[in-house]
A = this chain, B = another copy of it.
Amino acid sequence: MKIEESVSYLLAKLTVAHRNLLEKSVTQVGLHSGQVFVLMELWKQDGQRQIDLADKLNLAAPTVNKILGGLLEGDYVTRERYEDDGRSTRIFLTDKGENAKALVEEKWTEIEEQTVLGMSSTEALIFKQLLQKLMGADL
């Protein structure tokens, strides 16, 4: 099999371009891509522990910790020790963090448009389903 024609190769290549697109876009609202994903989890449920965020985002604990450093510095979130368990901290959105949601959603529409550019809506749907399938197979 030609490596260049494998799904893995194409996916890896596409990844770089897409990550660049994502980063460039969210930079316009003052965020970085990793921060956006953490914020999304907090928008769904505020006050989560770092380990919860790491589990849901499928990221290693130090990765989440590092990203939170930036969000704390940018005043998007606050960190509080968890009374029920001294090992844990809970992360809470600030007003700024909550307000960022609308900005990100707006940007995301642009990102999505550029991502599926050149695909018909049918193709986009099929593509989405296949992506979900791959995600489910937890790779």
Complex interface: stretch among A1-9, A45-53, A67-75, A84-92: A1-9
Q: In residues 16-51 of chain A, which contact B (Cβ within 8 Å)? A: 16-19, 21-22, 33, 37, 40
Among A8, A117, A131, A137: residue with most chain B CB under 10 A? A8
Copies of this chain in its oligomeric complex? 2
Asked whether A81 is an interface residue with its Cβ less than 8 Å from the other chain, the reply is no
Q: Are B117 and A7 in contact (CB under 8 A)?
A: no
How many residues in A have their beta carbons less than 8 Å from beta carbons of B? 52
Besides the known contacts A5-B128, A11-B18, 7 further A-B residue pairs in the complex with CB atoms under 8 A apart: A3-B105, A7-B127, A8-B112, A12-B18, A13-B135, A14-B131, A18-B139
Residue of B nearest to A5 (CB): B128
Q: Are B123 and A133 in contact (CB under 8 A)?
A: yes
Binary interface profile of A, 96-139, with partner B (CB < 8 Å = 1, else 0)? 00000000110011011011111100011011101111111111
Q: Are A115 and B127 in contact (CB under 8 A)?
A: no
| Residues A123 and B130 in contact in the complex (CB < 8 Å), given A14-B139, A118-B136, A137-B117 | yes
**Chain A residues near B (Cβ < 8 Å):** 1, 3-19, 21-22, 33, 37, 40, 58-59, 104-105, 108-109, 111-112, 114-119, 123-124, 126-128, 130-139
